[in-house]
């Protein structure tokens, strides 16, 4: 089994500490369809169901979290167990 998920790798500027990491992680996890979220200073990796949440929603959530800027991103489709 498993569902098709999209994995989004995002480069983020404006993150300086673990508090920034926590803010972004919580805001991303609050979106429907997000299955996994790993955030480190400067980047995030999110696995999500693209039928539930759009990539733009994830990028907008990061921008709305504070003075963070999305510098770039890449996506891959994967069949993952969820």
Q: Structure pTM?
A: 0.87
DSSP code at position 72:
E
Q: Check residue 1 and give its pLDDT.
A: 47
> Which of 1-5, 19-23, 49-53 has the weakest average pLDDT?
1-5
d(CA 66, CA 21): 11
Q: Check residue 40 and give its pLDDT.
A: 95
Q: Check residue 47 and give its pLDDT.
A: 95
- Confidence band for 46, pLDDT divided at 50, 70 and 90: very high
């Amino acid at each position: 089994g498993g569902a098709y998920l999209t994995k989004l790798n995002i480069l983020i500027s404006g993150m300086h500490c673990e508090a920034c990491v926590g803010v972004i992680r919580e805001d991303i996890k609050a979106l429907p369809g997000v299955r996994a979220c790993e955030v480190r200073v400067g980047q995030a990796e999110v696995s999500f169901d693209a039928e539930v949440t759009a990539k733009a929603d994830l990028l907008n959530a990061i921008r709305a979290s504070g003075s963070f800027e999305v510098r770039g991103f890449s996506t891959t489709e994967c069949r993952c167990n969820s």
